[in-house]
Structure 1
Amino acid sequence: MPTHHLTVWYNTRCPVCDAGIDWQRNKLLALVRAGTVEFKDINEQPDALANFGASLDDIRRRLHATDESGRLVVGADVAIALWRLTPGEGWLATLFGNRVALPVTRFVYDRFADLLFAWNKWCGRW
């Protein structure tokens, strides 16, 4: 089985994002302890993904991750990658990440992320 490595960057200042990642991290505790999956707060290293052209607001708006090949993964694709690694959640990756559903999944994720980002800005969470 190939070794996967995923470093997920997220915004801890967003209560929805923070709670969601905390919940996911707990489900992936064995992989986190093994160093297979890392979760990092973008507010602690705001320029961490600048070499990919991702701004701080880009990362606050949508999940970003780097995979084992050093490629950038963004938005719904990060959620799908996490579901693939999470025991018992592979079916979510299959359902929402298949060729037919993926464009809809990305669209819905992006609209939700836009609303959440606007709400966080309105609440002054920066």
Structure 2
Amino acid sequence: MATPDLTIYYNTRCPVCDAGIDWLRNKLLALVRAGTVEFRDINEQPDALAHFGASLDDIRRRLHATDEAGRLIVGADVAIALWRLTPGEGWLATLLGNRVALPFTRFFYDRFADQLFAWNKWSGRW
């Protein structure tokens, strides 16, 4: 099987993350079936990105992905990459991923991710 253009690593134990990825997977069904995009539950492969220095908690905190060249993509940049591929969502990638907006997008994504991670830990989801 060929290497996917984008492999997303996410946390199924987080209800927000799981629902968001489920929604995206359904919108990207043709790309998933073609093997262009792949979604992997990090809880099933906790050491999948260890060679990048990413711990299980790192991946539970923020989305992580690898591109077709094997490069690591993290956080808001993963969301932007997914929006670019998702029918009807390309405008989000253009709006939030442009040179001017990207630093703000990353900042707010990281703050949200930190809060979500803390809530999941407090709720005992792992």
Matches within 5 A, 1:74-93: 74-93=74-93
TM-superposed deviation, 1:87: 1.2
Instruction: Show the 5 A alignment for 1:1-126.
Output: 5-126=5-126
- Describe the superposition over 1:58-112 as per-residue Cα deviations: whole angstroms up to 9, x where unpaired: 0000000000110000000000000001111111100000000000000000000
* Unmatched segments (≥5 aa) in structure 1: none
Structure 2 gap segments, 5+ residues each: none
Percent identity, aligned pairs only, is 89
RMSD, aligned α-carbons: 1.1
Q: Find the aligned partners of 1:60 and 1:33 in 2 and give their Cα distance.
A: 25
What TM-score do you get using the length of structure 2 for normalisation?
0.96
What is the identity, as a one-letter code, of the residue corresponding to 1:64?
H
* Cα distance in 1 between the residues matched to 2:30 and 2:120: 31
TM-score w.r.t. length of structure 1: 0.96
Task: Tell me the number of residue pairs that the alignment of Structure 1 and Structure 2 aligns.
Answer: 124
Q: Residue 57 of structure 2 aligns to which amino acid in structure 1?
A: D
Q: Which runs of 4+ in 1 moved over 6 A?
A: none
Cα distance in 2 between the residues matched to 1:29 and 1:77:
21
The CA distance in 1 between the partners of 2:117 and 2:86, in whole Å, is 26
The 2-side partners of 1:18 and 1:87 are apart by 20
Once residues 28 and 52 of structure 1 are traced to their aligned partners in structure 2, the CA distance between those partners, rounded to angstroms, is 26
